[in-house]
Amino acid sequence: MTPRIWIMYLKMYWVRLLVTFTIILLIILSIIGLASLESFYRNISIAQMPFNILMAGLNASVFVFMYLVFMRGGFSKMERSRIKSKNVNIKWDDVIGMDDVKREAWEVVELIKDRASLRRIGGKIIRGILMVGPPGCGKTYLAKAIATEASIPFISMSGSEFTEIFVGVGASRVRQLFKKARALAYGYGACIIFIDELDAIGRKRTFSVFGGTEETNSTQNQLLAEMDGLKEKQYDIIVIGATNAVEDILDTALLRPGRFDRKIYVDRPSLEDRERLFKYYLDKIKYDPSIDVGRLARKSVYKTPADIENIVKEAALIAMRNKKDTISLKDISEAIERIDMGIKHKRTMTNRERQMVAYHETGHLVVLYILHPTDDVFKASIISRRDSLGAVYRQPREEIFTSNEERILANIKVSLGGYVAEKIKFGVTSDGVAADFKQAVIYAHDMVWKYGMGKSGFIGDYTIVPEGQLSESLKERLNNETNRIIVECEKEVQELLKKESEIFEHIASELLKREELDYDEVEEIFKKYGKSRTWLKTE
Amino acid sequence: MARVELGLKRNKRRAVTLFLFFTLCLLLFNPLGCNPTYPKERVDKSIINLCKREYKVDVEIKVVGKTIGVYIPIEDLIGINLAINPDKIGKVDDVIMSVSRVALSTDAKFNFYVLVAQDPIVPDIELIIIRNVTDVKRFLVTDISQSEYLNRMIIQLKLTPQAEKERVIRELFARTGVDVSEETIEDYFKSGYIDTISDIGYWNGKFFLKDVTMGEFIAKQVEERMRKDFTTDNSLKIFKLNFVDSAYKNGNFNFDFEVNSPDAPADSSKANRSVVLKYIYGVVSKVLHGYGFQDYSYINLSYNGEKVVFTKENLQDIKKRKLKVEDII
């Protein structure tokens, strides 16, 4: 170890060293003191020592308990004040998929590794990296991998650990964090601070007209000050922030160059990435080699790496419960269903109610299968899960990031499918259509008010115009257009269900009989009637 | 998972560090606790040196079995009224302190120590103090109160038994008209054997000491307690203890005492008898219980010549409230 490392340790742990030295000194003095006693008194002292230590410990515990309860508001605060310095050991290859993100992150690693030469030519190291993306996509994992690859210390803290009811505590923790990071950077040349859930302290600051300020303001101010301070002192500290929140939520001061210079968008994995993720997690357990990983990847559209890990874990549990040695495709499918749809719980329903639910779901299913251009049915069920009596589970064939008019209209039609089915079959409808209507109206409203997809020629986003500035006639026309879309869709759905009444009745009766229909079973029924899915036709 | 493993590793490391720390402490403290300050081979010298070095007092030591005897000559110990000179008590205390320290911090397992103090000018009178070493330990760890500690100590100011014997021998020879030589007298005391703890004494440069047993000590302690209580206890002030003697022989306690109540009405003798015997029972039972002493069969009380016998079982039954003292007395 170099002298710098020794000095770094001295700076970092001087309190611990002092305490250790004092304890050793006290022990030596105790031994000398005891040695000078006659053996009887020495024995008594030694015999009483455990009891005295116990009593001292008890007294200290009572004192700490009282102090925390009455002065600091409980034990949770103690836990929060902790700063974790970890020996991370996540290899670059352990980060599966997200090649683009990794490429961006690799640049950062190289910058950190090459910081000396960068400084020689007068360049400055990146101070902050902001990782934005949905939860479970591997932001923390990637940050750890950066730390491992760059071979520098890594301090991790969650944004919520800074928030306190007491003003100033959060700011003090930021100071502590950077103090520790500076000490580590002094010893090892650089240090990474990883702040998870950055939005907890990085939200736009609020300023009261009365001069008051929020606790998060002072915490964020301290963070900004510390990040500026890094430049002055030439410490190579890289702050990596991670958030699920969109950038707009974060304070602009945090996002300006010099703070979080670089933004990395860590998105959900693509089809190939999901395939590799499934392969990676399945390789850790025993699984049936006939499992088609590609099919699993296709079944798990929009799933994050954390979801995929969870699916494999859940499948392992299911296999274990069924006393199997290896995980089969069925176990994985069950795991996906359990995670996506929740656990089944049977409700006792009347026959009439059960029929209504079955026909309602059949309505959704038939419309979805025949009319929807992108989405696929993967299960229909009339078994209660969570708060629904039945459901048709669907997912797009592949990630779709935009929706065109056709897709939105199909969504409206699918939503109305349940209502129309009840109307055709029973002549009356139930209140189970409320959620469907809500969905349909939102789509139709957005088509007219926001996306300019109406036929009346209204183009523009009218939702951003204050309501008072919109004329009543304009609002009326927009609403009429919204209603027209709904009515037309309803008409189209009615025609479809009447036309496909055979399939409609068949599926409903199958649902009533089996309670659940899987992807393959649905496919089979439609094939029997010579139908194939829309997206297959358009491919 | 990696985080959990790291945490476990850290916990293991901490556990090992703590274990090593406590082992080190034990290794350091253990030898300190084991080595006696005064090894048993040098107990006598240790007491002599301690008294000499710290209190400037010369003492003579004799060890018999598990009893340490200390003889201390103190000039002017006995006043002209044949009582202890209060100014000299300090020296006795100093020697007691020294003996206690050695008895407690030695690997020799002593049960009792006996201190015999005499005025070299009046060796016919001696002050005897007998202490149980365990009592001293218990007092120091506040297991017994100070008053109880003092009650457990036997303190007697009495004629030196060997002086009395010598006087009797000389009178016997004088009556027969035979001149007795010093050698003859010495012959009588040559063996140094003594039968009871009442015979402990120092005479003509010879220490007469026996190994004190717990039975004897208890018997003597009860005797001393009776002497004290009959003069200080308000409930017993109407009585006068004229004579008391105690002995522990062959596993039996014998307490012989004469008590009268000169100022009490004539018809109260039966009630008085009950009070006295109950009191005696109380003292004996308390002392026996205090030491957890079981090595006896009978307790024979001789009250003004009347015999009352308590068996060990009687004492146990009374304690368990299966029997009343009145049923025995």
- Give every CB contact of residue A412 below 8 A, 6+ residues apart in sequence: A440, A443, A444, A485, A486, A489
B-contacting residues in A 11-30 (Cβ below 8 Å): 27
Q: Residue A117's Cα: distance from chain center in Å? A: 38
A361 is catalytic: yes
Pick from A273, A307, A271: nearest CA to A99: A273
Banded pLDDT at B288 (limits 50, 70, 90): very high
Which chain B residue lies closest to A30 (C-alpha atoms)? B29
Cβ contacts of B106 on chain A, cutoff 8 Å: 39
Cβ distance B32 to A89 less than 8 Å, yes or no, reads: no
Angle subtended by helix axes A169-188 and A215-233, to nearest 10? 20
Facing residue for B37 by CB, picked from A38, A46, A87: A38
Facing residue for A46 by CB, picked from B2, B29, B141: B29
Q: Which residues share a beta bridge with A262?
A: A129
Chain B residues near any Cβ of chain A (below 8 Å): 2-3, 6, 25, 28-29, 32-33, 35-38, 101, 104-106, 137, 140-141
Q: What is the distance between the alpha carbons of residues B145 and A384, in angstroms, rounded to a whole number?
A: 77
Q: What is the distance between the alpha carbons of residues A309 and A304, in angstroms, rounded to a whole number?
A: 9
Cβ distance B105 to A87 less than 8 Å, yes or no, reads: no
- Give every CB contact of residue B4 below 8 A, 6+ residues apart in sequence: none
Cβ distance A42 to B6 less than 8 Å, yes or no, reads: no
Cβ distance B101 to A43 less than 8 Å, yes or no, reads: no
Cβ contacts of A31 on chain B, cutoff 8 Å: 28-29, 32
Cβ contacts of A90 on chain B, cutoff 8 Å: 2
Banded pLDDT at A301 (limits 50, 70, 90): confident
What residue has token string 């120092």? Answer: B202
What's the distance, Cα to Cα, between the start and end of chain A in Å? 64
Q: What is the complex's ipTM, to 2 decimals?
A: 0.72
Cβ distance B6 to A90 less than 8 Å, yes or no, reads: no
Q: What pLDDT does residue B33 have?
A: 54
B-contacting residues in A 460-519 (Cβ below 8 Å): none
Does A36 contact B at CB distance below 8 Å? no
Which chain A residue lies closest to B138 (C-alpha atoms)? A44
* Contact predicate A350/A394, CB 8 Å: no
Q: What pLDDT does residue A531 have?
A: 79
Distance from the Cα of B149 to chain A's closest Cα (Å) equals 19
Domains observed in chain A: 15-74 (no CATH), 84-265 (3.40.50.300), 271-341 (1.10.8.60), 351-538 (1.20.58.760)
A128-132 and A191-196 beta bridge pairing = unpaired
Q: What is the distance between the alpha carbons of residues A462 and A446, in angstroms, rounded to a whole number?
A: 9
Q: How confident is the prediction for chain A on average, in pLDDT?
A: 82
Which chain B residue lies closest to A40 (C-alpha atoms)? B105
For CA atoms A456, A458, A461, A463, the dihedral sign is negative
Distance from the Cα of B215 to chain A's closest Cα (Å) equals 26
Mutate to test the interface with A, among B22, B32, B100, B139 (most CBs of A within 10 A): B32
Q: Which stretch of DSSP H or E encloses residue A265?
A: strand A262-265
Long-range (24+ apart) CB contacts under 8 A made by A514-518 are A515/A381, A515/A382, A515/A383, A516/A379, A516/A380, A516/A381, A516/A382, A516/A383, A517/A365, A517/A379, A517/A380, A517/A381, A518/A378, A518/A379
Q: What is the distance between the alpha carbons of residues A119 and A523, in angstroms, rounded to a whole number?
A: 63
A109-113, A455-459, B190-194, B289-293: which has the highest mean pLDDT? B289-293
Geometric angle at alpha carbon B61, from B59 and B63, rounded to 5°: 165
Token pair belonging to B147: 């008053």
pLDDT per residue over A17-26, tens digit each?
999 999 989 9
Distance from the Cα of B145 to chain A's closest Cα (Å) equals 18
Q: What is the distance between the alpha carbons of residues B317 and B324, in angstroms, rounded to a whole number?
A: 8
Facing residue for A44 by CB, picked from B36, B101, B141: B141
Burial of A294 (0-12, 13-18, 19+ CB in 10 A): middle
A329 phi/psi in degrees, rounded to 5? -60, -35
| Percent of all residues in chain A with a pLDDT value above 70, rounded to a whole number | 89
Q: What is the distance between the alpha carbons of residues A253 and B129, in angstroms, rounded to a whole number?
A: 90
For CA atoms A441, A445, A451, A456, the dihedral sign is positive
Question: Residues A429-434: what's their mean pLDDT?
Answer: 88
| Residue A442 reports pLDDT greater than 70 | yes
What residue has token string 């990435």? Answer: A273
Distance from the Cα of B94 to chain A's closest Cα (Å) equals 17
Helix (H, G, I), strand (E, B) or coil at A249: helix
Q: What pLDDT does residue B6 have?
A: 46
Which chain A residue lies closest to B136 (C-alpha atoms)? A40
Q: How confident is the prediction for chain B on average, in pLDDT?
A: 86
B-contacting residues in A 53-112 (Cβ below 8 Å): 86-90
B133 phi/psi in degrees, rounded to 5? -65, -35
Which chain B residue lies closest to A42 (C-alpha atoms)? B33
Facing residue for B33 by CB, picked from A27, A42, A89: A42
| Percent of all residues in chain A with a pLDDT value above 90, rounded to a whole number | 17
Cβ contacts of A86 on chain B, cutoff 8 Å: 3, 6
Looking at per-residue confidence, does A410 or A187 come out higher? A410
Cβ contacts of A27 on chain B, cutoff 8 Å: 25, 28
Banded pLDDT at A179 (limits 50, 70, 90): confident
Banded pLDDT at A538 (limits 50, 70, 90): very low
Distance from the Cα of A476 to chain B's closest Cα (Å) equals 58
Q: What is the distance between the alpha carbons of residues B44 and A529, in angstroms, rounded to a whole number?
A: 117
Q: Which of A361, A422, A490, A500 is catalytic?
A: A361
Q: Which DSSP string corresponds to B232-297?
A: H-GGGTT-EEEEEEEEEETTEEEEEEEEE-TTS-GGGHHHHHHHHHHHHHHHHHHHHHHHT----S
Radius of gyration of chain A (CA): 32
* Contact predicate A241/A260, CB 8 Å: yes
Mutate to test the interface with A, among B18, B30, B37, B110 (most CBs of A within 10 A): B37
pLDDT per residue over B208-218, tens digit each?
999 999 999 99
Cβ distance A39 to B25 less than 8 Å, yes or no, reads: no
Banded pLDDT at B225 (limits 50, 70, 90): very high
| Residue B264 reports pLDDT greater than 50 | yes
Token pair belonging to A152: 């520098």
* Contact predicate B197/B223, CB 8 Å: no
Q: What is the distance between the alpha carbons of residues A187 and A11, in angstroms, rounded to a whole number?
A: 10
